[in-house]
């Protein structure tokens, strides 16, 4: 039997052990040490953003965002149903009602043309999710937000080093949330970052992240003691995690370039099936630069996808579907409402199949995946 091709293999650069050893030698293991600062500085420099704060997860970044914009019981938040539970949970925890809207079938992102009809007097925020590192239509989203006085929180969990009209994703809305989970291009097992693009939110973001205290100002010498000043929680990752992460960030462009080669091999290898109309593949608008986080195909329907997953599994190839639309889940029905018609969300989610894609994936393995799909359809 041929060797197994996993769906994901977390990236390891070879620099992680060295950084962790240095962190141990320094003897500081809690958050916001040398490595945490290096990571924040890297993000701020690479994304040209005002402030980036490391968090223990992308989920924590979203939760911080909800606290920062003062989400309260009864507030409404607009987002796509096709996303991970964290996108909704962060706001539901603060008592918000989620107003789910349909997606575009080409990018799997929220349909920006449907946002405004979901706005009510109770709406507080819009949360675009950049699926697979492909940008939502941020110009239109920001215009709607400005017109109605709404916050925009970008769920850029999958979008590090991707851009929309030349602007890094996560830096266009008022807040941007990133994930460094082991399934992401750049990872530290569990980790995340909150990017603050609205200057007046920066000081409070530090306070919320530090258990509601002004501890960050104390360490900078701006106050002679720190105390409890606001709501907050412990959102900092430890230094060992940050040391691991910096090894990845320092090679983020190399990791992305390597993944892009795999992405392009899939695109070329599956072109024939797409031209025959057998499958559809990833669509990237001309004004977006994606980061090769995901390569997916769309098949005819759920039944065909189930058969293809089984066929691939028999050949020791792991392929997976992605989100079950939140509005169809038990919690989604309890905490949210779908606005308008579910024209594409459920149908497209049932057709989508993610293919193996990871750093240093062998070309022969990519070809093997492509060949298996061709054989299935032959």
Q: Which CATH number belongs to the domain containing residue 196 in this structure?
A: 3.40.640.10
Question: Phi/psi at 59 (nearest 5 deg)?
Answer: -60, -45
Q: What are the pLDDT tens digits along the chain (378 aa)?
A: 789 999 999 999 999 999 999 999 999 999 999 999 999 999 999 999 989 999 999 999 999 999 999 999 999 999 999 999 999 999 999 999 999 999 999 999 999 999 999 999 999 999 999 999 999 999 999 999 999 999 999 999 999 999 999 999 999 999 999 999 999 999 999 999 999 999 999 999 999 999 999 988 888 888 889 999 999 999 999 999 999 999 999 999 999 999 999 999 999 999 999 999 999 999 999 999 999 999 999 999 999 999 999 999 999 999 999 999 999 999 999 999 999 999 999 999 999 999 999 999 999 999 999 999 999 999
Six-digit token string for 64: 């911080």
| 180 and 289 fall within a common domain | no
DSSP state of 95: T
| 236 and 273 fall within a common domain | no
d(CA 227, CA 65): 22
Radius of gyration of the chain, Cα coordinates, nearest whole angstrom: 21
Alpha carbon separation from 275 to 4, 227, 270, 354 (Å, rounded): 29, 63, 9, 19
| 342 and 271 fall within a common domain | yes
d(CA 177, CA 153): 7
What H or E segment, with its residue span, contains residue 21?
Answer: helix 16-26
| 54 and 197 fall within a common domain | yes
Has residue 11 been placed in a domain? no
Q: What 3-state class would DSSP assign to 306?
A: helix
Last residue of a domain, one of 215, 249, 283: 249
Has residue 1 been placed in a domain? no
pLDDT score, position 219: 81
pLDDT score, position 279: 98
Last residue of a domain, one of 214, 234, 249: 249
d(CA 110, CA 83): 10
| 237 and 260 fall within a common domain | no
| 225 and 270 fall within a common domain | no
pLDDT score, position 218: 86
Work out whether strand 352-354 and strand 123-126 pair parallel, antiparallel, or are unpaired.
unpaired
Has residue 92 been placed in a domain? yes
Six-digit token string for 344: 């594409």
Q: How many domains does the chain have?
A: 2
Alpha carbon separation from 128 to 18, 41, 45, 79, 133 (Å, rounded): 37, 25, 23, 6, 12
CB environment 196-223: b (16+ within 10 A), e (fewer): bbbeebeebbbbbbbbbbbbbbeeeeee
pLDDT score, position 83: 98
| 222 and 272 fall within a common domain | no
- DSSP bridge pairs for 329: none
Has residue 6 been placed in a domain? no
Tell me which residue range forms the domain holding 316.
252-377
| 227 and 286 fall within a common domain | no
Q: What 3-state class would DSSP assign to 338?
A: strand
| 241 and 177 fall within a common domain | yes
Has residue 5 been placed in a domain? no
pLDDT score, position 220: 85
Residues in Cβ contact with 6 at an 8 Å cutoff, skipping those fewer than 6 apart: 318, 356, 358
Q: Are 146 and 173 in contact (CB under 8 A)?
A: no
Has residue 9 been placed in a domain? no
pLDDT score, position 93: 98
Has residue 159 been placed in a domain? yes
Six-digit token string for 377: 């359809």
| 278 and 195 fall within a common domain | no
Please compute, for residue 34, the number of CA atoms within 13 A of its CA located in the half-sphere on the CB side: 10
Q: Which CATH number belongs to the domain containing residue 279 in this structure?
A: 3.90.1150.10
Last residue of a domain, one of 249, 264, 291: 249
Has residue 3 been placed in a domain? no
What H or E segment, with its residue span, contains residue 76?
Answer: strand 76-80
CB environment 132-165: b (16+ within 10 A), e (fewer): bbbbbbbeebbebbeeeebbbbbbbbbbbbbbbe
| 173 and 268 fall within a common domain | no
| 208 and 267 fall within a common domain | no
């Amino acid at each position: 039997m041929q060797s197994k091709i996993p769906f994901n293999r977390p990236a390891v650069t070879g620099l992680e052990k060295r950084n962790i050893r240095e962190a141990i030698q320094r003897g500081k293991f809690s958050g916001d040490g040398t490595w945490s600062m290096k990571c924040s500085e890297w993000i701020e420099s690479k994304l040209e953003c005002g402030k980036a704060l490391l968090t223990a997860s992308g989920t924590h970044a979203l939760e911080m965002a909800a606290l920062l914009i003062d989400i309260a019981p009864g507030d409404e938040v607009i987002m796509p149903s096709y996303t991970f539970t964290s996108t909704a949970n962060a706001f539901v925890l603060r008592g918000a009602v989620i107003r789910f809207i349909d997606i575009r079938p080409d990018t799997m992102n929220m349909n920006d043309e449907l946002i405004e009809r979901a706005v009510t007097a109770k709406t507080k925020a819009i949360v675009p999710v950049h699926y697979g590192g492909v940008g939502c239509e941020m110009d239109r989203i920001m215009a709607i937000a400005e017109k109605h006085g709404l916050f925009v929180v970008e769920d850029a969990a999958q979008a590090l080093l991707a851009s929309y009209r030349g602007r890094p994703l996560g830096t266009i809305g008022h807040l941007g949330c990133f994930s460094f989970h082991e399934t992401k291009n750049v990872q530290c097992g569990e980790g995340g970052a909150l990017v603050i693009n609205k200057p007046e939110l920066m000081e409070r973001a530090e306070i919320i992240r530090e258990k509601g205290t002004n501890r960050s100002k104390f360490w900078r010498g701006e106050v002679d003691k720190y105390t409890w000043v606001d709501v907050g929680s412990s959102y900092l990752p430890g230094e060992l995690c940050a040391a691991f992460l910096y090894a990845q960030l320092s090679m983020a462009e190399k990791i992305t370039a390597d993944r892009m080669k795999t992405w392009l091999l899939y695109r070329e290898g599956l072109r024939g099936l797409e031209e025959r109309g057998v499958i559809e593949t990833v669509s990237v608008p001309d004004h977006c630069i994606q980061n090769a986080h995901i390569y997916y195909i769309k098949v005819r329907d759920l039944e065909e996808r189930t058969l293809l997953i089984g066929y691939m599994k028999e050949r020791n190839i792991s392929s997976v579907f992605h989100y079950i639309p939140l509005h169809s889940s038990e919690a989604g029905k309890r905490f949210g409402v779908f606005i308008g018609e579910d024209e594409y969300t459920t149908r497209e989610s049932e057709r989508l199949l993610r293919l193996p894609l990871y750093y240093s994936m062998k070309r022969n393995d990519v070809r093997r995946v492509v060949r298996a799909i061709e054989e299935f359809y032959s």
